Structure formats: C-alpha cells, structure tokens
C-alpha cells in the first residue's frame, strides 16, 4: 500500500488540511514530522513530534523507538497490517529554512521523501501552496531574504522539479469540496465527500489550530472575504518584496499572478505617500 505524503511550507494552511484529511475513513496522519524533528501543537513542548510518539498518543499504537527512518518503517508496517492508509504531513520548512534544528544549515531538499524512497515504498505526494506574499505577512514580514524569500524559492523550485500536483490554499478555502475531491483522488483515499466537514473536531495534529466556531468562517463566500484581509504592517517593505527576484520566481512556480507594472507603480506611489506623511508627522512632533 502506498504512503500518502503532503508537503506544505509554514503558514500555508497545512494544519487545516491536516485536520480535513484526518477525518477521512481508515486514515492515520503523522503531523509535521521530519528527520530533523517535528513541529509543536497545542501541547507546546509536550507535543508528540516523532512517528512513534504520535502513533502512541493519538492512535494507541505502539512501535519500537529509534531513528526517524526506523520508526517510519515500523509505522508503515503497522498501518499495512491494520488496513489503514498512512498519510505523512511533512515539515519541509525545517529542510529549507535555517533553524536550530538543522544547525542553521538546511539541506535544501525534501528529506522525508528521501527516507521514503530509501525504504522503497510507493508514495502518492502533492503540495499545498499559498500566495508567497500571504506567507511573508503571516511569518511576521521577515526583512532578511535568507529568512524567507531565498529558502522559499528553493522549496518551490524543488516542488517544480518533481512535477508534483499543487493545490492552492485559497482554492481550498473557496471551493473545499472540489479541491478535497481532487486531493482524495491524487492520494487514492476513500471518501464519500463530506467527512472533511468535521475537521474542527480532529485534534491529532501539530501546528496552529484555529478551532473555528463554524465551517462558514473558513470556507465558501466567507473565505473570499477573509482571504483578502491580510494586510502588511510595513507597507514599504511589502512593496519592496514584490520587486525581489526570489518572490517573483516563487510566485510563478506556484501558479500565482504577479501585479501588473501599473499596479506596482501605484504601490510605489502609495509607499512614497505614506513615507512623506510619516516624515511630516515626525517633524511636527519635534517642533512642538
């Protein structure tokens, strides 16, 4: 039985999709796992971060403890015996972005996929992507290119080189039934089409769980409004990002349109106006 693998960079909607997939029948999801460690969930530093810890705490399944490759091999074996489909939510952020876990020297490749290939198992993989400007804002508008733009471009280049199916977070929110059907088909999962709607009850997940009060707050017409509310704190930095080669390349590789030249000129004019107002205000305060 093939292993499902879904890739999602930080702040790209991976936790939400993790919950949606987790609601499907006969599925076991490992959440944000990687040879470099795992992401945290609502339990903070007590969150299960390895395949063995997650299987034990979330699904009551015990496997031997060891290296990531060792545990993953046993996780695949136990899921096969139970007739369950194992889906791995990778943590590619840690494989491309400098961080403590990788000694600030990320390998720049999909290391979990490397392990699965080494184990010789079949893999049904896809990636969930989000507009890079939304990720940049959500990650706190990092000023250093090496903190986001460069590693994210490398990540999107890797996705493109593998020719993986890409699904956009924005499309998932606006047309969840349609996108989930396509994801189910790619991963060869079983579904009657509506199980994902119980996503806010699925808690076996690491990441930023929003815990919405209703589906409507995330999906459909309401999502169209919510997706447009992401606004930068630093508008001048926001404009500069649009002129970065890495940003433009990543956007194109993930299927997002770039602003027209006229739009960019308008953004530059707005940034200049904001700067002049700020300078005028500062001089006024100094003269008081």
Q: What pLDDT digit, counting tens, does each position of 103-153 carry?
A: 999 999 999 999 999 999 999 999 999 999 999 999 999 999 999 999 999
DSSP state of 258: P
User: CB of 37 within 8 A of CB of 94?
Assistant: yes
pLDDT of residue 228: 47
Where in the chain are the domains? 3-231
Q: Taking the CA atoms of 249, 252, 254 and 256 in sequence, report the sign of the dihedral they define.
A: positive
3-state class (DSSP) for residue 24:
coil
Q: What pLDDT digit, counting tens, does each position of 140-176 carry?
A: 999 999 999 999 999 999 999 999 999 999 999 999 9
- The residues that bridge with 112 in the sheet, in sequence order, are none
CA proximity to 12, closest of 109, 133, 160: 133
Q: Specify the CATH superfamily of domain 3-231.
A: P-loop containing nucleotide triphosphate hydrolases (3.40.50.300)
Order of all β-strands in the sheet with 85-90: 27-33, 85-90, 3-8, 123-129, 166-168
Residue whose tokens read 């509506």: 194
Non-local (6+) Cβ contacts of 197 within 8 A are: 23, 215
Q: What pLDDT digit, counting tens, does each position of 250-268 carry?
A: 999 999 999 988 888 888 8
Q: How confident is the model at residue 192 (pLDDT cuts 50, 70, 90)?
A: confident
Burial class (CB in 10 A: 0-12, 13-18, 19+), 261: exposed
Average pLDDT, the chain: 90
Q: How many Cβ atoms are within 10 Å of 77's Cβ, its own excluded?
A: 12
What pTM, to 2 d.p., does this model score?
A: 0.90
Higher pLDDT, 181 or 1: 181
pLDDT, average across residues 10-26: 95
Q: What pLDDT digit, counting tens, does each position of 62-92 carry?
A: 999 999 999 999 999 999 999 999 999 999 9
pLDDT of residue 219: 61
Tell me the backbone φ, ψ of residue 64, rounded to 5 degrees.
-60, 150
């Amino acid at each position: 039985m093939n292993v499902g693998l879904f890739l999602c960079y930080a702040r790209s909607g991976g936790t939400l999709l993790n919950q949606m997939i987790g609601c499907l029948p006969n599925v076991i999801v490992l959440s944000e796992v990687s040879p470099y460690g795992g992401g945290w969930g609502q339990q903070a530093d007590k969150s299960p971060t390895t395949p063995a810890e997650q299987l034990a705490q979330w699904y009551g399944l015990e496997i031997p403890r060891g290296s990531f490759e060792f545990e993953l091999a046993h996780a695949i074996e136990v899921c096969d015996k139970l007739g369950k489909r194992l889906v791995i939510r990778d943590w590619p952020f840690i494989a491309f972005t400098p961080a403590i876990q990788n000694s600030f020297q990320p390998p720049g490749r999909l290391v979990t996929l490397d392990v699965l290939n080494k184990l010789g198992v079949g893999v049904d993989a896809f990636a969930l992507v989000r507009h890079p400007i939304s990720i940049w804002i959500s990650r706190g508008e990092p000023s250093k290119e090496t903190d986001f733009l460069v590693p994210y471009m490398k990540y999107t280049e890797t996705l493109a080189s593998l020719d993986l199916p890409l699904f956009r977070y924005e499309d998932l929110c606006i047309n969840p039934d349609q996108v989930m059907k396509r994801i189910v088909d790619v991963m060869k999962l079983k579904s009657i089409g509506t199980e994902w709607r119980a996503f806010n009850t699925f808690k076996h997940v690491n990441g930023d769980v929003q815990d919405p009060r209703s589906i409507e707050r995330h999906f459909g017409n309401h999502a169209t409004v919510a997706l447009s509310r992401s606004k930068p704190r630093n508008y001048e930095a926001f404009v500069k990002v649009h002129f970065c080669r890495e940003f433009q390349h990543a956007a194109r590789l993930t299927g997002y349109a770039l602003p027209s030249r006229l739009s960019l000129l308008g953004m530059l004019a707005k940034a200049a106006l904001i700067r002049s107002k700020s300078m005028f205000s500062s001089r006024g305060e100094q003269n008081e």
